[in-house]
Amino acid sequence: MYRKLIKKTVAVCILLTFIFNGVSVLDTTASLQQTSMHYSFNSSSNTTGSTGQNQAMYSVMQFIPKTPSWLKPDEKDEDNKNYGLPPEFNWRTYGGRDWTTPAKNQGGCGSCWAFAAVGALESVINIANFDAELDMDLSEQYILSCIPKAGSCMGGNSYLAFYYLISSSNDGNNVNGIIPEDCLPYKANDDIPCSDKCPDWREKLVRLSKTGYWNLDGDSEKDREFLKSKLIDYGPLVVYMAATNDFMNWGNKYHTPNSYYPDPGYEPSINHAVLLVGYKDDPSIPNGGYWMCKNSWGTNFGYNGFFNIEYGALHIDDYAAYVKVPSTSFNPIAGGSGPYQGLVNEPIQFYGYAIRGTP
């Protein structure tokens, strides 16, 4: 089964078909591997809204190197069996605040993996500092230009981005951290030299402390509950999926927060990375509910750049990667109607679910 292959594969980002000002997309039943897609992007800015009028043709995705075999996945702990998880959780609304940052636009570059990684970092920084308004805008271009081992405009691996950002080796630009967007603005081009970053970039570094990933079985209720628990414990997570033409057409048509993409019942190849931010259990849905995700195709896709997708659809819950940043004295404790504060590692009980705090 293809699900087993995910353990040795990485996300390959599609080069998109949207003309955002017209919110249109090619309508074709051809496979993504055989299709050329029309995409509009203004490369002078990393916008969260509509793009400029200049258009270009891009061919679709290529395979990229696998995660090195020596980078092993994290073990899936078994202590979540009896968690009384809440039926719904969303980092966009937890405690009446939005702990995520706005959806961005990757443009005509297969850099979804970098955008998903940066989206996770930006949210985790908000959570670690107990400040939903912090909303740092970090540089995806820094990952493309200064961490080339993680990937390129032809695709990449979000976990490798985290791994090398933490590393102080040559592959990690000899330092732990990432810089703000204004220090190296996004150009949707992996030929931009790392030397283009601002002169005081070292003073602006935002440090990372830990990363890891899990291989999951999206058909397993046990693994699904595990993923929900880690989403609550760790904050938004990077997940991979198969972004089909049908999915793209759906996201251009449906723009309400209660719409979800249904499981099509087949498993195309993984080609895209997004950020998992929430979930909702719903027994009226065949697979029991849906995930809430942030995309990197601008705000005209889905609802303000976010979308919902049914549990088990398009490999959305077959893999997840996390990142942590240095903790403050207090961390937000998820799972209640809060917001609440709790000491790091202090167990708090909500809905029968022990929130453990950041280790």
Active-site residue list: 112, 272, 295
Torsion-angle region of residue 10: left (phi > 0), alpha (psi -120 to 50) or beta? beta
Best CA proximity match to 223, nearest among 357, 319, 122: 319
Residue 339 preceded by cis peptide, ω within 30: yes
Q: How many CA atoms lie within 13 A of 80 on its CB side?
A: 20
Distance CA 321, CA 333 (A): 20
Residues 184, 141 contacting (CB under 8 angstroms) = yes
How far is Cα 276 from Cα 223, in angstroms, rounded to an integer? 15
Helix (H) or strand (E) holding 140: helix 140-146
The token pair that represents 219 in the structure block: 């058909």
Cα–Cα distance for residue pair 318/231, rounded to 1 Å? 14
Q: Angle formed by the axes of helices 112-128 and 158-166, to 10°?
A: 60
Q: What is the DSSP string of 99-114?
A: -S----B--SS--HHH
Number of other CB atoms surrounding residue 68 within 10 Å: 11
Q: Which residues, 6+ apart, have CB-to-CB distance to 241 below 8 Å?
A: 270, 272, 273, 274, 309, 314, 315, 316
